[in-house]
Amino acid sequence: MSRVLLVDDDACIRDALSAVLHETGHTVTLAVDGAEGLRLANSANPEVIVSDVMMPVMDGPEMVRRMKATPRLANVPVILMSALETVPRVPVAAMLRKPLDPSMLLRLIHEITHDSASADPVTGDARAEIADEANDCRSVDIAAPVPLPAAALWDIESWSTTRIPLGF
């Protein structure tokens, strides 16, 4: 499948998405923030980068700006994910709203890595999907369905820290 660089400061989301991507045959490199993502992008040679927007040290949009200024990384498609932002501040292949449907991410990765013919001649982006506020995200149609592993059925949001009442 594809080489994916996954950049997210939330370990639960990073681990869950990594498991889904590994289960569907992708090679995944993990980074905890944009600075590490930028460094690893140079060595991992990703076909697509999936990144959170808001992270410490360097956020996703700043990482994308620096990548676009680096000739070796300028054409690597990026999918940004955010719980708050629905319109990307930088040119990206796609923007997804968290919590996201793993099948949507898999479809986008498949489409981006297998459909360079639909790339925008100005931006080079294979897709300019923006989260639809009414439906969380717009669906992406591809010719063949992407099979989902059992891991893709995990609820990523349930991996967050659980508060246990102490009963005092």
What was the pLDDT predicted at 48? 97
CATH architecture of structural domain 3-157? 3-Layer(aba) Sandwich (3.40)
Q: Which of 132, 123, 126, 97 is nearest to 109 (CA)?
A: 126
Question: For the segment 97-137, what is each residue's pLDDT rounded down to a tens digit?
Answer: 998 889 999 999 999 988 654 444 444 443 443 333 323 33
Q: At 6, which amino acid appears? A: L
Question: For the segment 11-61, what is each residue's pLDDT rounded down to a tens digit?
Answer: 999 999 999 999 999 999 999 999 999 999 999 999 999 999 999 999 999
What was the pLDDT predicted at 86? 80
Burial label for 97, CB within 10 Å (0-12, 13-18, 19+), is buried
